[in-house]
Structure 1
Amino acid sequence: MTRTEYHVVPDGGGWKVEQGGSVVGTYDTKERAVSAGREVAHGNEPSQLVVHTADGRIETEFTYRDDPYPPVG
């Protein structure tokens, strides 16, 4: 089963949550975007929320159900 990936990314002066190139929601603060992203990702398991910095680098990730890493064995 594949995980759905959601991304919190900068959007001009605000932040947005994206999934597969589509915007799930836009927010005025990163904190609100992360909170909303965690809620939608947790509600659509298995999934992963990838939070980016203002310059686009990956800051952190949240995985919901069946994380394949570390591998078994």
Structure 2
Amino acid sequence: MAKRNQHVVPLGNGWAVKGEGNNRFTAITETKRDATTIARDIAKNNKSELIIHGKDGKIQAKDSYGNDPFPPRDSVN
């Protein structure tokens, strides 16, 4: 199974979850919060990225649940 990034996008008066490259929506919800919860669970299971869009369609936030090739370094004190 391909690791598809999950997008939370506005859809009319509601919100939708759509896997990157998919033609169909995975889920349609009334609230952005519900769509984000669903998309986050899918992204975690697929070890992919969650991309959250605003009402204007622009990206507002991203979360990565995959294998990060450049993880943050631990600080040493």
Work out whether the TM-score is over 0.5.
yes
Unpaired runs of 5+ in structure 1?
A: none
Aligned length: 68
The question of 1:35 aligning with 2:37 is answered: yes
Q: Which amino acid aligns with 1:18?
A: K
Preserved contact between residue 3 and residue 46 of structure 2 (Cα < 8 Å): no
Q: Distance in 2 between matches of 1:62 and 1:40?
A: 12
Q: Determine which structure has more spread, i.e. the larger CA radius of gyration.
A: 2
Runs of 4+ displaced beyond 2 Å: 67-70
Q: Distance in 2 between matches of 1:17 and 1:69?
A: 27
Calculate the aligned-residue CA RMSD, in Å: 1.6
1:33-58 CA distance string (max 9 Å, x none): 0011001111111x001000000000
In the superposition, the TM-score normalised over structure 1's length comes to 0.82
